[in-house]
Each structure stands twice: as structure tokens, then as C-alpha cells.
Amino acid sequence: MSDDKNLSDDLNDMLGDAKEGAKKAADKAGELADDAKEKAKEFASEAKEAASDFADEAKEVYEKATGENKKVLAGILAILLGALGIHKFILGYNKEGIIMLVVTLIIGGFTCGIGVGLMSIVGLIEGIIYLTKSDEEFYNTYQVGQKPWF
């Protein structure tokens, strides 16, 4: 019986040690999980910031690329069809485009083409100005600054 009691006591001690070891392991796992959770939050925050920076830079590059395309298109249309004001519509200057179109069609009809000639000269000058400006200068002046004439 004493062997059974010693064996029982030994088993109880071992069971207590195992419980204590499991509790320590669980506590350590909890600490590691908390650390991992904190690191994941930091990583997510950094990833969001990097994604936001990338999106801002991509948007800036896209706007500049779009501005370059508008520069060439607006410049060529201003030289070729400047009297009709199509280049103004391309740049988003609808009011100015309508003014050029009205001067060309209506006033030009009453003045035997003088309005057409004037608007052609304006278109030619604007086309040359558009094409001789640097891409950045064109973008800042005509697309950001919204300068409608010359």
C-alpha cells in the first residue's frame, strides 16, 4: 500500500509539474501571440502608408502623362484647326472654345472671313506656345493653373 501511496504521490507531483509547465507554456504562448499581434499591427500600418504613398505617386505620374498627351494634341489641333477652338475643348476650356467657334462661324460670316482669320492666328499662336513649353510648364500653366488664353 505504501508503494501505491508513493506512486500516487509521485503521479500527483508529476501531474502538478505538468500543469505548472503547461501554464508557463500557455503564458509564454500568450506573450508571443501578443508580440505577434503588435508586430502585425505595425506591419499593417506601414503597408497602408506605403500603399498610400505609391497611390499618390502613381496618380502624379498618370496626371503628368495625361498632361503631356493633352499638350501635343492641343498644340497640333490649335495649329491645324485653331479657328474652331477645338484645342480649347480638349483642355477643358468650354467657354473659350464656344467663343472661338462663335467668332469663327457667326462673326466670320458677317465680316467675310475676318473673324476666321483672327481666330486662325490666335490658334496658330496658341499652338506654337503649347508645343514650345516644357511638359511640366504646360501642365502647371494650362491644366493646373487653368490659364485659358495665350
pLDDT grade for 132, boundaries at 50, 70 and 90: very high
With contact defined as beta carbons under 8 Å apart, do 91 and 74 qualify? yes
Grid coordinates belonging to 147: 490659364
Decide if 104 contacts 125 (C-beta within 8 A). no
Helix runs in the chain, H state only:
2-81, 86-90, 94-102, 108-110, 114-132, 135-138
pLDDT in tens, 66-84: 555 688 999 999 999 999 9
CA 138 to chain centre: 20
pLDDT digits (tens, 9 = 90+) for 18-37: 888 888 888 888 888 888 88
Specify whether the CB–CB gap between 126 and 87 falls below 8 A: yes
